[in-house]
Amino acid sequence: MTRSSIAFWAGAAVFLAAVFVMTQVVGNQYPFFAGYIILQFIALAVAWSILGGYAGYVNFGTSAFYGVGVYASVFLVKAFGAPLPLQILAGAAMGALMGLALGLLTLRMQGIFFSIATIALTIVIETAITNWRYVGGAAGIQIQRPEVTAPFDNYVQMLFFVQALLVVLAVAISRYIQNSWIGRGLQALRDDELAAECTGVPTLRLKLLACVISGALMCAVGAPAAMYLQYADPASAFNLNYSVSTLAMSLIGGTAHWSGPIIGAIVLATTQQLLTVTISSEVNVLVLGVMLVLFVVGAPDGIIGLIARLRGNRGKGEA
Amino acid sequence: MFSLDLLLDAVVIGVLLGCFYGAVSLGLSVSFGLLDVPHVAHPAFLVLASYAVYFLNEHYAVDPLLAGLLITPVFFVFGLAAYRLYYETFEKRGSDAAVRGIAFFFGIAFIIEVLIILQFGVDQRSVTADYIGKALRLGDFRIPYRLLVAFGVATALTVLLTLYLSRTFMGRAIQAVAQDQEALRLMGTNPVKIKQWAFGIATAVLGISGALLIIVAPVDPTLDRAYIGRTFCVVVMAGLGSMGGTLVAAIILGVAESIVLTMFGASWAPAISFAMLLGILAVRPQGLFGRRS
Amino acid sequence: MTLSDTQPPLLRIAALTKRFGGFTALREVSVDIRPGERFGLIGPNGSGKTTLINCISGAFRTEPGTVLFRGEDITPLKPHQRTRRGIARSFQIPRPFRSMTVAENLMVALDFAAHEHVSVGQRRDTMMSILEQMGLGSKANVSATQLSQVELRKMELARAMATQPKLLISDEAMAGLSSSEVDEVLDLLLSLASRDITIIMIEHIMQAVMRFSDRVMCLDAGRIIAIGTPSEVMADKHVQEAYLGT
Amino acid sequence: MSKKVSSISRRSLLATAGAALAAAPLGANLLHAQQGPIRIGMSMPQTGGLAGGGKASLLGIEIWRDDVNAAGGLLGRKVELVVYDDKSSASETPAIYSKLIDVDKVDLLFAPYATVPTAPIMPMVKQRGLLLIGNFSFQVNSKVGHDMWFNNAPWGPADSWATSFLDIGQKAGGKSMALLAADQEFAQNLAKTAREVAAKRNLPVVFDQAYPPATVEFSSIIRALKASKPDIVYVASYPPDSAGILRAVNEIGIGDNVKVFGGGMVGLQFGAVMENMGSLLNGVVNYNTWLPEKSMYFDGTKEFFDKYTKRAVEAKIDPLGYYLAPFGYASGQLIEQAIKAVGSLDQKALAKYLRENTHKTIVGPIAFSPDGERKETAVLQAQFRGVVDKNMEQFRTSGKQVILFPDNLKSGELIAPFEAARK
């Protein structure tokens, strides 16, 4: 293991330990409720940018994957009373399949066509779920949580920890991809697809791989949301907000490095959570809009890019 | 339930509805189809135009279509400015313009949404005119005048835009810029100027499209979200940049939707049209009337 | 083509036709390229040179017609599969991976197209030695966007070389360069050719083509109008007509 | 730590203060003023699809707060509202209510407007044993079974809605029903009960369609409905669609055999929509919660609307505000009466009081059944009459919407068939 790998895994271990200790010590529930949402967006943004960031294929269908994750859980709970780990695994499997199908169908298309196709896919899936009476259809469905298992004494605390695990998983995968030949291949095809092909990069296969991994992770992230809300309805599960927010988070953070989406998600999700409980009105939406515009105009490489530029300048100053 | 009468009726209504979809997509067909600008704020501009029309209709009793015409110069200038901003910040910098452009236009769309809410509130608004709420009777058939207006406006806009693009110098330059920017640069014309002009035209068209939107159905500030999918689908299905193709694709979409609404499970209507788009993209990525090989 | 050829051809193009809609860009083009050959491809603008390259490298699908490489029919293969079999190319307008450094540009090729599996360390050594050969040793960690025109051309060739090709196609690698730079690139290509790499060179600069090529082929309007030694082709009256205009 | 101490002392102080209240109000006020206000927490949709209703509902609650504070507050303490925007989405409310409970430590909870944002918080308030005043959600407690839930909406038993409408239709001679419902949560719930009631009565359902959200044009669907020749047309629709449906009905026609049309169209209660629809509304029999008919005025109703009308203009929200705003005010009145009677903020005691008594509000007397819904439905079915175009003020006068149900509030008789009532 290289030094940076050791540092990364040590950091991940410390993070998980801290999350775990928090679930055991903190009695106030709010940090877990709000923290869950923030963690969920981190995982979504990281998963999204595997395809959207590294490969440059903008997936508008985050909400489709997220929603399918939610409804995979709803179905499993209703049909078999399946436990949480199984829900997440099933979600991931569904997501991988969906990613594969989406990829096969659309990845031959150039950039923006792919994006449009993902919008279409979202609507098709949402309509299908809306018409599926077994999982509640348009009317939505209320779900009973099972008893919480030790060592947690509260379900939301457990979900918080589970979501933290998913974040670590997503980041580890994203980091691995970036540092491996896969990441280099994706970066090459994002820069220039034909040049990449002519340099030996199997672009279609790599894109499919990215699509499958990204899809599996996004669905897995959605799966525990059914238990978090104890309620699911198509309009909320397939909300456009998920698609736009993950896109925004990745871009605000920067897509050049695996840490970009994390930073972006922390900044934007925390801001949104804070605004929800402070200003709390349409200004909230306005802030998202203004942040998006300011960042893509003023900091095209995101916060990561800003930091790099600052460092670069300082380095030059010293030299 | 099946009857020939109903089917015929569904087709007629579908064609008219499709014309409406076409009319609200034409601007996008220029801005996205010809100029490759990922203009996801197109529907937000559209709703903004509807509110402008509403304002004129409500306070000065201006006919909605006339109001739509009146705001086109304003929207033209607005479009010029929007493209300039987009160009300076994205296109000029080259790669990745599409991804950031999408985020940028989403941001713009949200800002417009909120500004409308702050100015007009969240209630839905509609306009009044003689042709709203009445229908043309043809024997057993009844066709709402609203939709006939949509039909007329859509055809007129399509014909005008097609003529403009093929007959005028500027129009041909716009077509050329869509094909090959380099060639145009060699000819000594500045492609940026031409694209800016074209984006202005695309936005100006939205003035009339916006009027149509509020004539056909009431609008509310967040209506734009429902039209992102629809308008992009029409443009992509048509194949980028063909005005006539846009209208035809929109009509196909309208007819499909109308038939499903009438004959089969209505709640499947959106899935049908978008599945159709997915199918077309899978088989024929350049769209039905695509310019790209 | 001539009977004196005892070796099988490295690349055989047989009755290749390419249409774009109603426009025929290539018409029944057939030609064999011998191993180790320095092959020049000339023709006026729009004659189909780049289209032919795109068909050989796999960027365009061709039908009818076949492309055989070392005896294998590669017509159905994708570009990356052809690259892995040993066909590399550069682009008329350089297409670097803009978000990467020069070294990373080469690493893509080494990661994906290298024939044998070697350690990361060895790959880095290979990469550096290619860069040194190309005179880009000092630019390894410079972003591809900061290179000059001639450096970009060299980097494209270096990236192509990093795929360890048997056939290198150079698409107007000298366009827009000064005469001293042209000589620089030409020397590079000649040194590559001396190492058993077959090279197809597309070029407008006649001097360079004449100096470089064993054999020259001239295309006009998608057809072969002449093929032979440089001097034969230059003397051909069809070629002169094509260049001086009809 | 300090917070815990203060909350304990607050509770003990409350007990003494409650007793002292009647005897020495002025002194008690001084005492309690130092304790800080009673804080009522809620989320409310202020953006997204439910924002229109949410804002009107909130204004109703705010007017109650101002009234009660003007009268000296509750238990001598001022009332304060803590309100967050849930963006009309289910995914926002769990975190918001956790914040209200665990961080803001509010004294009482109100639910957000509508079912979707309310559903996810039901298990949470049940688990914590908290009182929750519901706000126009539909059958959200039926599966959860929380005994400290009280819905301010006049819905009553789940099927009463369909029952009253079908009663009217059948009395007018209707022998078949057509059902057109939006493919969204509330409308689908209505449609479901309508199907059940129809089945119970052997009323054939000749047309049953769910139309998707964001449908632009209803002409073809109305044409298909017309072709099925129903006597009763039950429509469960959302605001943007209600207008589209009525327009299409007006343009396409619906057939002479239709006796009654309407039932569950959301949107025809909002001023802006009604003004825009104008004469298209005539003849429609639709549900309502409050109407300016003589029978609907109770103690304080008129004063409330005087205040509302003034403030709605500034806030750019529904100028009429019949649908939700008075019920927001009534939510406040419910809690006000309970606190006054119990004399403390003890949630169990408040819930017991609310469950066992009938409460006077500006929307009439309210009594709850064990599931926390109204004991009897107070959903009005009213027919639009003599409405003219482009006139908001007409809706403030009686007679524009004649109440047909319930009997005790009735202000007129049905005019049938539908086409006749349109003239």
Nearest CA to C114 out of C138, C142, C83, C91 is that of C83
Q: What is the CA radius of gyration of chain C?
A: 18
B and D touching (3 or more beta-carbon pairs closer than 8 Å):
yes
Mean pLDDT confidence for D348-357: 96
Q: Which residues lie below 8 Å from residue D72, measured CB to CB, with a gap of 6+?
A: D25, D29
A156 CB neighbours in chain D (<8 A) are 94, 98
Is C111 part of the contact surface with chain A (CB cutoff 8 Å)?
yes
CA atoms within 13 A on the CB side of D112: 33
How confident is the model over A168-185, as pLDDT tens digits?
Answer: 999 999 999 999 989 999
Report residue D3's pLDDT band, with 50, 70 and 90 as the boundaries. very low
Has residue D31 got a pLDDT over 70? no
Tokens of residue D129, six digits: 């044993």
Q: Which of D89, D119, D187 sits opposite A142 (nearest CB)?
A: D119
Q: Of A113, A140, A299, D377, whose CA–CA distance to B233 is shortest? A: A113
* pLDDT (tens digit per residue) in D377-400: 999 999 999 999 889 999 999 999
Per CB-CB distance under 8 Å, the chain A contacts of B107 are 248, 288-293, 296
Q: A71-108: per-residue pLDDT in tens?
A: 999 999 999 999 999 999 999 999 999 999 988 887 77
- The continuous run of DSSP H or E covering B136 comes out as strand B135-138
HEC secondary structure over D156-200? CCCCHHHHHHHHHHHHCCCCCEEEEEECCHHHHHHHHHHHHHHHH
Q: What is the CA radius of gyration of chain B?
A: 19
How sure is the predictor about D13, in pLDDT bands with cuts at 50, 70 and 90? very low
Contact assessment for residue C160 and residue C89, using Cβ atoms and an 8 Å cutoff: yes
Q: What is the pLDDT of residue D34?
A: 53
Q: Which residue has the tokens 């030694």?
A: C229
Q: CATH homologous superfamily of domain D7-154+300-356?
A: Response regulator (3.40.50.2300)
What distance in Å separates residue B95's CA from the closest CA in chain C? Answer: 8
Please check the confidence at residue B21 and state whether its pLDDT lies above 90. yes
Look at phi and psi of residue D204 and say left if phi exceeds 0, alpha if psi is from -120 to 50, else beta.
Answer: beta
Question: D129 falls in which pLDDT band (50, 70, 90)?
Answer: very high
Q: What is the pLDDT of residue B242?
A: 83
- Strand order in C198-202's β-sheet? C87-89, C167-171, C198-202, C38-42, C215-220, C223-228
pLDDT at D20 over 70: no
The answer to whether the D7-154+300-356 and D160-288+385-422 domains have the same CATH topology is yes
**Contact D85/A137, CB-based, under 8 Å?**
no
pLDDT one-digit tens code per residue, A234-291: 988 998 889 989 999 998 999 888 999 999 999 999 998 888 888 767 787 788 889 8
User: Does the pLDDT of residue B257 top 90, yes or no?
Assistant: no
What are the pLDDT digits (tens) for D155-164?
988 888 899 9
Q: What DSSP string runs through B215-277?
A: HHS-B-TTTHHHHHHHHHHHHHHH-TT-HHHHHHHHHHHHHHHHHHHHHS-GGGHHHHHHHHH
3-state secondary structure (DSSP) of residue A65: helix
Per-residue pLDDT of chain C (246 residues; tens, 9 = 90+): 444 456 788 999 998 888 876 678 888 899 999 999 999 999 888 788 888 999 999 888 777 889 999 999 999 999 999 999 999 999 988 899 988 999 999 999 998 887 667 787 888 898 999 999 888 989 999 999 899 988 999 999 999 999 989 999 999 888 888 888 899 889 989 988 888 899 999 988 888 888 899 999 999 888 999 999 998 998 888 888 887 664
pLDDT tens-digit series, residues C79-135 = 999 999 999 999 988 899 988 999 999 999 998 887 667 787 888 898 999 999 888
pLDDT of B230 reads 87
Alpha-carbon distance of C41 to C213, in angstroms, equals: 9
Q: What pLDDT digit, counting tens, does each position of D255-306 carry?
A: 888 999 999 999 899 998 898 888 889 999 999 999 999 999 999 999 999 9
Q: Beta-carbon neighbour count of residue A313 at 10 Å?
A: 10
The whole-angstrom distance between C143's CA and the closest CA on chain B is: 14
pLDDT at C203: 87
Which tens digits make up the pLDDT trace of D235-255? 999 888 898 899 899 888 888
CA within 13 Å, CB half, D149: 31
Sign of torsion over alpha carbons D212, D218, D221, D222: positive
Q: Which two tokens stand for residue B284?
A: 């024929």
Chain D touched by A230 (CB under 8 Å): yes
Q: Which of C20, C21, C98 sits opposite B95 (nearest CB)?
A: C98
Q: Using the predicted structure, report yes or no on whether residue A226 has a pLDDT greater than 90.
A: yes
Coil vs helix vs strand at A32:
helix
Domain ranges of chain D: 7-154+300-356, 160-288+385-422
Q: What is the mean pLDDT of residues D324-329?
A: 96
Q: CB distance A56–B99 less than 8 Å?
A: yes
Q: Is the pLDDT of residue D28 over 80?
A: no
Query: Given pLDDT bands bounded at 50, 70 and 90, which one contains residue D10?
Result: very low
pLDDT recorded at residue D413: 93
Q: Give chain B positions within 8 Å (CB) of A286.
A: 110-111, 114
Checking if the pLDDT of A13 tops 80, the result is yes
Which pLDDT score is estimated for B78? 95
Rounded to whole angstroms, the Cα distance separating B89 from A35 reads: 35
> B95 and C99 in contact by Cβ < 8 A?
yes
Closest partner residue to A184 (CB to CB) among C78, C107, C159 is C107
- C185 to chain B, minimum CA–CA distance in Å? 26
Rounded Cα distance, D180 and D176, in Å: 14
Could you give the CA distance from residue C134 to residue C118 in angstroms, rounded to a whole number?
A: 22
- A308 pLDDT band, cuts 50/70/90, is confident
pLDDT, average across residues A51-66: 92
CATH superfamily of D160-288+385-422: Response regulator (3.40.50.2300)
What SS3 state is found at B106?
Answer: helix
Q: Which residue has the higher pLDDT, A226 or A296?
A: A226
Residues A118/A64, Cβ–Cβ less than 8 Å: yes
**Predicted confidence band at A313 (pLDDT cuts at 50, 70, 90)?**
low
The tokens 């002392």 sit on which residue?
D9
Average pLDDT on D141-167 reads 92
Query: Could you tell me the CA-to-CA distances from B65 to B47, B72, B149, C181, D250 in Å, in that order?
Result: 15, 11, 9, 64, 22
- Across the interface, of D83, D90, D187, the residue whose CB is closest to A236 is D90
3-class secondary structure, C225: strand
From the CA of D32, how many Å to the nearest CA of chain A?
Answer: 27
pLDDT for res C35: 92
In this prediction, residues D215-233 reach a mean pLDDT of 90
Instruction: Identify the residue with better confidence: B141 or B214.
Output: B214
Residues in chain B with CB shorter than 8 Å from the CB of C21 are 293
pLDDT at B84: 92
pLDDT for A218 equals 97
Structure-block tokens of residue C171? 């698409």
| The predicted structure's pLDDT at residue A69 | 97
User: Is the model's pLDDT at A193 over the cut of 60?
Assistant: yes
Q: Which residue has the higher pLDDT, A145 or A316?
A: A145
Q: Using CB atoms, which residue from D210, D244, D253 is nearest to B267?
A: D210
The pLDDT tens digits for B87-98 are 888 777 765 667
Q: How far is D212 from chain A (nearest CA, A)?
A: 8
Longest dimension (CA), chain B: 64
pLDDT-based confidence at D55, cuts 50/70/90? Answer: very high
Per the prediction, chain B carries an average pLDDT of 86
Confidence (pLDDT) at D30: 44
A and D in touch (3+ CB pairs within 8 angstroms):
yes
**Cβ contact C112–A187 (<8 Å):** no
pLDDT of residue A133: 87
Chain A interface, Cβ < 8 Å to C: 181, 184-185, 187-188, 190-192, 194-204, 256
- Give the B-side interface with A, CB within 8 Å: 32, 36, 38, 85, 89-90, 93, 95-96, 98-100, 102-104, 106-111, 113-114, 117-118, 225, 228-229, 232-233, 236, 265, 267-268, 270-271, 274-275, 277-278, 281-282, 285
- Residue of chain D minimizing CA distance to B222: D48
Q: Which amino acid appears at position A285 of this protein?
A: V
- Residue B229: its pLDDT value, please? 84
Does pLDDT of A317 surpass 80? no
Q: Which residue has the tokens 């209240």?
A: D21
pLDDT at D14 over 70: no
| pTM as predicted | 0.89
Is residue D59 within 8 A of residue D322, CB to CB? The reply is no
> From B290, which residue of chain C is nearest by alpha-carbon distance?
C21
> What Cα–Cα distance (Å) separates residue A217 from each residue in A42, B113, B196, B287, C239?
12, 32, 41, 31, 60
| pLDDT score of B97 | 66
The answer to whether the Cβ–Cβ distance between A288 and B110 falls below 8 Å is: yes
ipTM reported for the complex, 2 dp: 0.86
In whole angstroms, what is the distance from residue D243 CA to residue D240 CA? 6
When pLDDT is averaged across residues B151-155 and rounded to a whole number, the result is 93
